[in-house]
Structure 1
């Protein structure tokens, strides 16, 4: 079944969170790229899924329900993908309502911290940038650029919004086991998103995976954009060691980021059981 990988992308974002394409335009792009199975995994919201599914039905692209939940583990921010859940589940609906409220609170807290550094008006500008959706750090970064406080988004994250910086607030997020429970109880599968982007030692990553699996998590995102050589092999080995399924996704946000292309991701190693193996996907 691994040959299906070139036709599937299980991690991407739309204007429902911090992507730049509407759900419909995102699905249209997936169709152009030959993607047959697409999971829309916006941050802490499922508000784009119905629009994506409607366009998918029209174009023949299978839309898999998805979400990328923010969580914390040992006081570190972790992203957990929920895939193939019941999008009508009251558990998921309640979860995204809670997360979206937390996002507004977090953005306001970050803005207040940065205001003390002399950066004014960021919360209001972030709300405009997010078009009324729950804003996140990328929206604050865009606001900082727009107001001339920094030269570009990368600088905003490097100096003010990245891990360990003044604008890095994680305490609003629920614990890992609670987030995994939401996904499992809604009939979905929980995946650790981009495991090598958390700047963890392999020993700490193993500890995260052990706790994740004990909570009911079933998969690792083995392949995503921007990985370093050797990381795929490491994650494949961890899937084998912990008896986890493997997922893959571009983590696409915008066509203006040519280093992240929708659907342009390698196949899973043959040693890894694909997360979609039991979903009866057609080629």
Structure 2
């Protein structure tokens, strides 16, 4: 059984994936299954970072102790900057801190009401119902566009999530509705206030749409941003190099992650990984402990 050593030290080669999703948000597998699959994939450390929720933490922690993988508890916080969608990974935060808790609750409720409106709009041309969407979730799921996509797939309107996002659910489509998200700088401040370690998720992913400029990243750094997720399948080699240069210039660390969603995306556990020294820095700065 593989176990990372205590005290924030990881001797030898360590495989670390710091960005995964479960059925607590838009992944297809239960939190415990994600952790067990991480062990089967040869990972030593995995982070569960569901959108705007910590609902999967307890189940994931029990699985981590059972299968011998170290678990970094986290959240992917929705944010915006100048109309651009920004995702801030929060690691090892206090899950009860009122500032961050309030932002996450508001984002989840807005996501839910937004999804209801989008289902109403989509249903005018592609018959689906709210119950069809709920059938793609479990109790407590942070509801989002991926669940509308899954309902469209189940109804036979599209072949998979990617097809749904490329057409019916894309930003700018007649069915698209925005949802509440805090300003990116405010989101970073909320993470820091909760004792979390904030990392900008896939900041150069132009395949997802517009990305923020360096001035926005600098403002996030002033608010406490600690790192950039450079190694991600949505980044080209050139984008990865540019993000490393930006991180060096701003005194940030870089991470690499899979952004795993189970069957919801082609991303595979461990396809990008993070250096051991970076994980040790995250541990040293975080409010909560890594689960072993």
TM beyond 0.5: yes
Q: Which has the higher contact order (CA 8 A, sep 6+)?
A: 2
The alpha carbon displacement at 1:74 in A equals: 0.3
Alignment of 1:59-70 (within 5 A): 59-70=67-78
Matches of 1:195 and 1:248, distance apart in 2: 12
Question: 1:1-37: per-residue Cα shift (whole Å, max 9, x none)?
Answer: 9997851111001111111111111111111222222
CA contact (8 A) 1:245 1:275 kept: no
CA contact (8 A) 2:122 2:128 kept: no
Q: 1:129 aligns with which of 132, 136, 155?
A: 136
Matches of 2:270 and 2:235, distance apart in 1: 15
Q: Does 1:52 align with 2:60?
A: yes
Structure 2 CA distance for partners of 1:74 and 1:236, relative to 1, 3 Å: same
Unaligned runs of 5+ in 2: 1-8, 285-289
Structure 2 CA distance for partners of 1:265 and 1:134, relative to 1, 3 Å: closer
Matches of 1:89 and 1:233, distance apart in 2: 35
Alignment of 1:194-233 (within 5 A): 194-198=202-206, 204-233=212-241
Structure 1 equivalent of residue 278 of structure 2: 274
Structure 2 CA distance for partners of 1:245 and 1:111, relative to 1, 3 Å: same
Give the secondary structure class of the aligned counterpart of 2:246.
Answer: helix
CA contact (8 A) 2:39 2:67 kept: yes
Structure 1 equivalent of residue 3 of structure 2: none
Structure 2 CA distance for partners of 1:31 and 1:120, relative to 1, 3 Å: same
Q: Does 1:145 align with 2:150?
A: no
Give the secondary structure class of the aligned counterpart of 2:188.
Answer: helix
Structure 2 CA distance for partners of 1:112 and 1:256, relative to 1, 3 Å: closer
Structure 2 equivalent of residue 177 of structure 1: 185
Q: Does 1:261 align with 2:268?
A: yes
CA contact (8 A) 2:47 2:74 kept: yes
Structure 2 CA distance for partners of 1:5 and 1:263, relative to 1, 3 Å: farther
Unaligned runs of 5+ in 1: none
Q: Does 1:113 align with 2:130?
A: no
Instruction: Supply the RMSD in Å over aligned alpha carbons.
Output: 2.8
More off after superposition, 215-224 vs 135-144 = 215-224
Task: Output the TM-score relative to the length of structure 2.
Answer: 0.84
Question: 1:95-114: per-residue Cα shift (whole Å, max 9, x none)?
Answer: 33222211111211222332
Give the secondary structure class of the aligned counterpart of 2:278.
Answer: coil
Question: 1:188-240: per-residue Cα shift (whole Å, max 9, x none)?
Answer: 111110112245778x4312212221332221101123432222211110101
